[in-house]
């Protein structure tokens, strides 16, 4: 009965409507009045996203005097819309964490009406500011430009931008999503100063909660964040519907048009299609924290921990990794200690090294470190030179670009000033045809000017332009031979028959065509006209579409004022993107570089060395491209990293072809007058490729010298110790009571000759003591240590080493171009196979490849993935070999070593340049295993640690136990045959592999157990069934098995 009752209650719960189920009441504190700024939260509530997640949300309106962060920190609100001020919190009890950043960029700016004649931030000093608290990035901008923010005269902030027009203040703190709309609606020219233009790119609105709540109720916090982000995704995808929700459900003081405007501006600040909604990075928070330190709002020294909410699963995984590393370390220490005690109790230390080995080691120990030091020192210095050269070249190009464009705009401003003075002195002259030559001279004063014109307040407009392909395409009435054009538009007072009178020239002033047409163009409504009038200074517009051509231009305007202060109009010039882009193309740092001039506030492109990419087609119209959507994946990636990390200069990997690229973002000086920045993306090899190639050749040369020197050292040591070895052999014979005199020349070295004489005397003396027993000698093994390096961490990785068999012979005999083609193909095959299996390619070492699995990101079953990557590399190279054979080219045979072990992995190098690599015993073992293939004729050798990690998922056969330098324990080496239970042809073992594995395993067990006769017989059976098997052949040549063979070659 009890079970039936429980089942009944469960069924009732399932069929109850969702509205009846229990939901948790929570509050969300907004930072300001209801508007589109918080649209995502309204939509999440309206669409039921919060209720689906189990919440009954109360959205609280903000406003003057309400600090959302304080409301959350004190527990008055469960969640809130906070700003970057969360970095300034001190108390752990009231600590606030950011769940997700909504606005990737701050909307704060300082709005100035053009009539205030404030053209730079520095000119704000002493001017009245309508201020609102909380915009710390504005304080940073003002401080950079020499303005004391605290000393500015304050005016009460009413939230009404028209107070500026009324003269109540000279400037106001505003949001670019709100106040500019009122100015645009009324046609009031204004200037906006945004911190982002000056390099202060703060996060804007973010969703926050108390740190205590995030730790105690992580599931609830995760659910609220997910529902909020879902609401924002919907709101941005359906902006008009979101506006209707706001107008219908909340008390809003804005019009629908104002909310639509705000929605468009908000989307630009969030950048949902470019950066993942809600994402935040520690680098960006650290950059903001440094600015707070500079402002004196944070103490100098250590930066505060980024206030990023960390989900519990991420914390758990981090602690599990640390625990696993600690357990692995303790286990390794315990194993080493136990092995050491066991070895001490056995005869393991009874073996002594040969004298030739000792002498070789002494020579190597004294000379090789010097060469290694030379190698390391040379590599470090060359790396420093590479970085310095790259930064110098990019800096020169950037400075030249900025300086040249400044000079261009300065000269344009000077010419416009003279033109405006002439028009003010003789306005009637510019209403006559005689003025055409004056405008022509202005036009031709600079090759970058596309059009020069004078526009008057009554609508009269006279212009002289170049005729290019854009204009000819836009107007079929333009004669094909025309290269120049002049026209004038009648004053507006002319009435409905107001016309534009056009004249065309092939060579000035030779007329080749004329026509007139009605025109409604009012130059006074074009961008910059009113701003130039109000500011009484040169005004450079943002990029806009030229009404004559439909293509983008920028315009520079200078106001025309008579001596009695009457405004007559503007003198202007147009500079086309095409002209600027051609100029940038000639000024590129290198052939493959991309140089761009863009607006840092919205990423809109002004010009680009790839001029065809400045505009893009959207529907049936042209739009100006931005750094976020330009048709160049490298530029988009550089901009994304710049936005996410706040770095101006950095190196990154091309998403298109994997090349190393350098990105440089530099703002134009404030004196330039327009918020532009220079963006340079260039392949590092364009500057330092030859130096890097030379560095690699030096490294290879020193390695070759080291190998050659080691060979010479060993040969010399052998020659010196050969007489001593004969003496040793005679002594061994005496110990065996064999007194036969052995032949050999006497050494020319005095001490050795004396030893030979003493040995002869000993032999004669001991002949009468034949009853003496020999004494057994134990040779001592010296263990080598591996030092730790700072800046790395210990991880358990699977390390991969490969090289090409007999590559030196190929290199000497092959054509360099064909060899390069083949080696590049080989590297591509191996790199792709490693990448497909989640591995990390560490470096290319000559013809070899080093890679590893398990870092930098954790990977489940790294050993299995490594085995799969190795098999794919080999099988794909075999397929390519077949094609090479058909072309008559030599083929490559790979040799691969895999080892799983604890290694040091991390960033190593200098303070300016890092290399992510792995090092340690595990790496050395993998390299040694790669060399074992030569001994056994195999392709892929594995250590026992790899086999243990993979278990039964791989098919292997044992080879033998080996000892490597630096280890006290011998371990079993295996050959990888394939992956078990797979349908992938690249991973399947060869036919009959299972039988071969079982036979080899049986033979190996006999060999390891000391049954050498049985092992020899077993390996011979393998050869009888698998003729030419390299492993069996190699094992039968070993000294332990050779005497036991039944069939000797």
- pLDDT for 778: 28
Who has greater pLDDT, 116 or 207? 207
Taking the C-alpha atoms of residue 761 and residue 727, their distance in angstroms, rounded to an integer, is: 12
Q: What is the pLDDT of residues 561-581, one digit of tens each?
A: 988 888 999 999 988 767 677
- pLDDT for 439: 92
Residue-by-residue DSSP string for 386-434: HHHHHHHHHHHHHHHHHHHHHHHHHHHHHHHHHHHHHHHH-TTGGGSGG
Q: Could you tell me which of 105, 112, 208, 209 has the C-alpha nearest to residue 163? A: 112
Question: In this model, does residue 3 exceed pLDDT 50?
Answer: no
**CATH architecture observed for domain 588-683:** 2-Layer Sandwich (3.30)
Q: What is the pLDDT of residues 847-883, one digit of tens each?
A: 889 999 988 778 888 989 999 999 999 999 989 999 8
Question: In this model, does residue 25 exceed pLDDT 90?
Answer: yes
- pLDDT for 250: 93
Q: Which fold has domain 108-198?
A: D-Maltodextrin-Binding Protein; domain 2 (3.40.190)
- pLDDT for 11: 40
Structural contact between residues 82 and 307, judged by C-beta atoms closer than 8 angstroms: no
- pLDDT for 342: 62
Taking the C-alpha atoms of residue 681 and residue 650, their distance in angstroms, rounded to an integer, is: 10
Residue-by-residue DSSP string for 964-1024: -TT-SS-EEEEEEEEETT---TTTSPPTTHHHHHHHHHHHHHHHHHT-HHHHHHHHHHHHH
Q: How confident is the model at residue 18 (pLDDT cuts 50, 70, 90)?
A: very low
- pLDDT for 416: 87
Query: What residue has token string 């009752």?
Result: 5
Q: What is the pLDDT of residues 797-808, one digit of tens each?
A: 999 999 998 888
Strand pairing partners for 55? Answer: 24
Who has greater pLDDT, 721 or 71? 71
Tally of CB atoms within 10 A around 803:
23
Q: Is the peptide bond before 583 cis (omega within 30 degrees of 0)?
A: no
- Percent pLDDT > 90 in the chain is 21
Q: How confident is the model at residue 919 (pLDDT cuts 50, 70, 90)?
A: confident
Range ranked top by mean pLDDT from 375-389, 612-626, 1022-1036: 1022-1036
Region 748-770: what's the mean pLDDT?
62
Same fold flag, 19-104+203-309 and 108-198: yes
Range ranked top by mean pLDDT from 513-517, 733-737, 803-807, 930-934: 513-517
Q: How confident is the model at residue 1041 (pLDDT cuts 50, 70, 90)?
A: confident
Region 458-480: what's the mean pLDDT?
87
Q: How confident is the model at residue 206 (pLDDT cuts 50, 70, 90)?
A: very high
Most distant CA atoms of the chain, gap in Å: 142
Question: In this model, does residue 367 exceed pLDDT 70?
Answer: no
Q: Kindly list the distances between the CA atom of residue 778 and the CA atoms of 350, 714, 736, in Å, as whole numbers in the listed order.
A: 2, 24, 17
- From the centroid of its chain, how far is CA 635? 12
Q: What is the pLDDT of residues 272-293, one digit of tens each?
A: 878 889 999 999 899 889 988 8
Region 694-716: what's the mean pLDDT?
73
Q: What is the pLDDT of residues 1006-1015, one digit of tens each?
A: 888 888 888 8
Structural contact between residues 544 and 553, judged by C-beta atoms closer than 8 angstroms: yes
- Percent pLDDT > 70 in the chain is 81
Question: In this model, does residue 947 exceed pLDDT 80?
Answer: yes
Q: How confident is the model at residue 772 (pLDDT cuts 50, 70, 90)?
A: very low
Query: Any idea what DSSP says for residue 773?
Result: P
Q: What is the pLDDT of residues 49-66, one digit of tens each?
A: 999 999 999 999 998 788
- pLDDT for 746: 66
- pLDDT for 570: 94
- pLDDT for 30: 94
Bridging pattern class, strands 594-598 and 108-113: unpaired
Q: What is the C-alpha R_g of the chain?
A: 40
- pLDDT for 233: 93
- pLDDT for 764: 61
pLDDT, the chain, mean: 81
Q: What is the pLDDT of residues 207-263, one digit of tens each?
A: 999 998 988 899 999 999 999 999 999 999 999 999 999 999 999 988 999 899 989
Region 331-350: what's the mean pLDDT?
62
- pLDDT for 788: 38
Taking the C-alpha atoms of residue 505 and residue 482, their distance in angstroms, rounded to an integer, is: 5
Alpha-helical (H) ranges within 622-669 are 633-645
**CATH architecture observed for domain 19-104+203-309:** 3-Layer(aba) Sandwich (3.40)
- pLDDT for 456: 94
Domain-by-domain residue ranges, the chain? 19-104+203-309, 108-198, 311-341, 588-683, 792-979, 990-1049
Question: In this model, does residue 403 exceed pLDDT 80?
Answer: no
Query: Any idea what DSSP says for residue 304?
Result: P
- pLDDT for 701: 76
Taking the C-alpha atoms of residue 324 and residue 312, their distance in angstroms, rounded to an integer, is: 18
What stretch of H or E contains 10? helix 2-15
Q: Could you tell me which of 337, 295, 22 has the C-alpha nearest to residue 143? A: 295
- pLDDT for 785: 34
Q: Could you tell me which of 318, 313, 316, 295 has the C-alpha nearest to residue 87? A: 295
- pLDDT for 432: 92
Taking the C-alpha atoms of residue 874 and residue 895, their distance in angstroms, rounded to an integer, is: 9
Q: What is the pLDDT of residues 27-40, one digit of tens each?
A: 999 998 899 999 99
Region 440-448: what's the mean pLDDT?
85
For domain 792-979, give the CATH number.
3.30.70.1230
Question: In this model, does residue 193 exceed pLDDT 50?
Answer: yes
Range ranked top by mean pLDDT from 5-9, 218-222, 782-786: 218-222
Taking the C-alpha atoms of residue 736 and residue 832, their distance in angstroms, rounded to an integer, is: 61
Q: Which residues contact 857 (CB under 8 A, 6 or more apart)?
A: none
- From the centroid of its chain, how far is CA 955? 38
Taking the C-alpha atoms of residue 1049 and residue 1040, their distance in angstroms, rounded to an integer, is: 16
Region 954-969: what's the mean pLDDT?
82
């Amino acid at each position: 009965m009890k079970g039936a009752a429980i089942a009944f209650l469960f069924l009732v719960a399932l069929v109850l409507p969702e509205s009846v189920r229990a939901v948790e009441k929570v509050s969300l504190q907004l930072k300001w009045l209801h508007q589109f700024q918080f649209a995502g939260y309204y939509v999440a509530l309206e669409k039921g996203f919060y209720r689906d997640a189990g919440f009954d949300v109360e959205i609280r309106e903000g406003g003057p005097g309400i600090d959302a962060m304080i409301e959350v920190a004190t527990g008055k609100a469960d969640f809130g819309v906070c700003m970057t001020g969360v970095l300034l919190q001190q108390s752990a009890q009231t600590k606030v964490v950011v769940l997700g950043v909504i606005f990737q960029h701050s909307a704060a700016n300082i709005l100035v009406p053009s009539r205030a004649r404030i053209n730079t931030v520095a000119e704000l000093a002493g001017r009245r500011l309508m201020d609102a608290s909380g915009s710390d990035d504005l304080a940073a901008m003002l401080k950079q430009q020499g303005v004391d923010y605290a000393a500015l005269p304050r005016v009460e902030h009413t939230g009404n931008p028209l107070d500026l027009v009324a003269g109540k203040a000279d400037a106001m703190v505003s949001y670019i999503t709100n106040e500019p709309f009122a100015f645009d609606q009324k046609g009031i020219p204004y200037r906006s100063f945004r911190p982002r233009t000056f390099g202060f790119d703060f996060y804007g609105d973010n969703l926050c909660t108390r740190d205590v709540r995030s730790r105690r109720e992580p599931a609830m916090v995760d659910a609220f964040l997910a529902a909020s982000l879902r609401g924002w995704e919907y709101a941005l995808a359906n902006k008009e519907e979101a506006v209707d929700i706001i107008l219908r459900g909340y008390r809003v003081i804005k019009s629908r048009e104002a909310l639509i405007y705000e929605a468009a501006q908000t989307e630009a600040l969030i950048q949902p299609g470019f950066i993942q909604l809600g994402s935040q990075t520690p680098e960006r928070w650290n950059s903001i924290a440094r600015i707070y330190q500079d402002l004196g709002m944070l103490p100098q020294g250590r930066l505060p921990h980024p206030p990023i909410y960390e989900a519990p699963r991420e914390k758990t995984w981090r602690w599990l990794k640390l625990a696993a590393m600690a357990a692995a370390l303790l286990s390794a220490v315990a194993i080493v200690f136990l092995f050491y005690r066991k070895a001490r109790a056995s005869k393991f230390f009874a073996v002594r090294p040969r004298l030739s080995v000792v002498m070789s080691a002494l020579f190597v120990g004294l000379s090789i470190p010097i060469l290694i030091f030379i190698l390391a020192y040379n590599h470090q210095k060359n790396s420093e030179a590479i970085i310095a050269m790259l930064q110098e070249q990019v800096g020169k190009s950037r400075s030249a670009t900025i300086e040249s464009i400044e000079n261009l705009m300065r000269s344009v401003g000077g010419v416009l000033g003279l033109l405006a003075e002439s028009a003010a002195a003789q306005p009637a002259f510019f209403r006559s045809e005689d003025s055409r030559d004056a405008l022509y001279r202005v036009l031709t004063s600079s090759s970058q000017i596309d059009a020069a014109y004078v526009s008057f307040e009554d609508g009269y407009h006279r212009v002289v332009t170049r005729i290019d392909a854009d204009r000819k395409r836009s107007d079929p009435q333009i004669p094909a031979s025309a290269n120049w054009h002049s026209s004038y538009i009648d004053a507006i007072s002319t009435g409905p028959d107001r016309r534009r009178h056009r004249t065309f020239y092939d060579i000035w002033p030779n007329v080749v065509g004329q026509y007139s047409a009605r025109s409604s163009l009012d130059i006074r409504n074009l961008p910059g006209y009113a701003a130039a009038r109000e500011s009484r200074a040169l005004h450079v517009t943002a990029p806009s579409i030229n009404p004559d051509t439909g293509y983008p231009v920028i315009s520079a305007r200078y106001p025309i004022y008579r001596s009695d202060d009457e405004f007559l109009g503007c003198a202007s010039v147009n500079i086309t993107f095409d002209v600027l882009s051609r100029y940038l193309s000639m000024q590129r740092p290198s052939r493959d570089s991309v140089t761009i001039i863009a607006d840092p506030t919205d990423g809109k492109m002004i010009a680009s060395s790839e001029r065809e990419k400045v505009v893009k087609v959207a529907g049936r119209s042209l739009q100006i491209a931005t750094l976020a959507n330009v048709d160049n994946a490298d530029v988009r990636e550089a901009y994304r990293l710049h936005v996410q990390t706040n770095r101006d200069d950095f190196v990154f990997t091309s998403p298109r072809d994997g090349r190393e690229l350098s990105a440089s973002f530099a703002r134009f000086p404030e004196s330039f007058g327009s918020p532009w920045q220079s963006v340079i993306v260039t392949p590092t090899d364009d500057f330092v490729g030859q130096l890097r190639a030379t560095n690699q050749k030096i490294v290879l040369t020193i390695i070759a010298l080291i190998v050659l020197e080691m060979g010479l050292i060993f040969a010399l040591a052998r020659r010196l110790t050969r007489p001593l070895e004969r003496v040793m052999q005679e002594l061994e014979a005496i110990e065996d009571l064999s007194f036969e005199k052995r032949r050999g020349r006497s050494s020319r070295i005095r001490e050795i000759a004396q030893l030979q004489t003493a040995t002869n005397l000993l032999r004669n003396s001991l002949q009468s003591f034949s009853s003496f027993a020999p004494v057994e000698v134990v040779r001592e093994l010296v263990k080598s240590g591996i030092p730790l390096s700072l800046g790395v961490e210990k991880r358990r990785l699977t390390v991969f080493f490969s090289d090409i068999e007999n590559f030196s012979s190929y290199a000497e005999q092959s054509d360099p171009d064909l060899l390069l083609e083949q080696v590049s193909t080989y590297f591509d095959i191996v790199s792709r196979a490693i990448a497909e299996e989640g591995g990390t390619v560490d470096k290319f070492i000559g013809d070899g490849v080093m890679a590893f699995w398990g870092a930098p990101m954790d990977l489940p079953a790294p050993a299995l993935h490594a085995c799969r990557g190795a098999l794919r590399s080999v099988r794909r190279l075999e397929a390519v070999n077949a094609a090479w054979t058909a072309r008559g080219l030599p083929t490559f045979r790979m040799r691969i070593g895999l080892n799983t072990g604890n290694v040091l992995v991390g960033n190593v190098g200098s303070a300016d340049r890092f290399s992510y690599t792995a090092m340690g015993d595990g790496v050395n073992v993998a390299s040694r295993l790669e060399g074992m293939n030569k001994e056994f004729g195999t392709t892929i050798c594995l250590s026992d640690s790899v086999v243990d990690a993979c278990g039964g998922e791989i098919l292997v056969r044992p080879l033998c136990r080996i000892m490597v330098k630096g280890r006290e324990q011998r371990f079993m080496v295996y050959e990888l045959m394939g992956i078990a239970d797979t349908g992938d042809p690249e991973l399947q073992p060869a036919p009959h592999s299972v039988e071969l594995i079982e036979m080899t395993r049986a033979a190996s067990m006999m060999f390891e157990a000391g049954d050498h006769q049985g092992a020899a017989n077993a390996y011979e059976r393998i050869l009888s069934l698998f003729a030419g098997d390299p492993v069996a052949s190699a094992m039968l040549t070993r000294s332990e098995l050779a005497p036991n063979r039944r069939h000797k070659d």
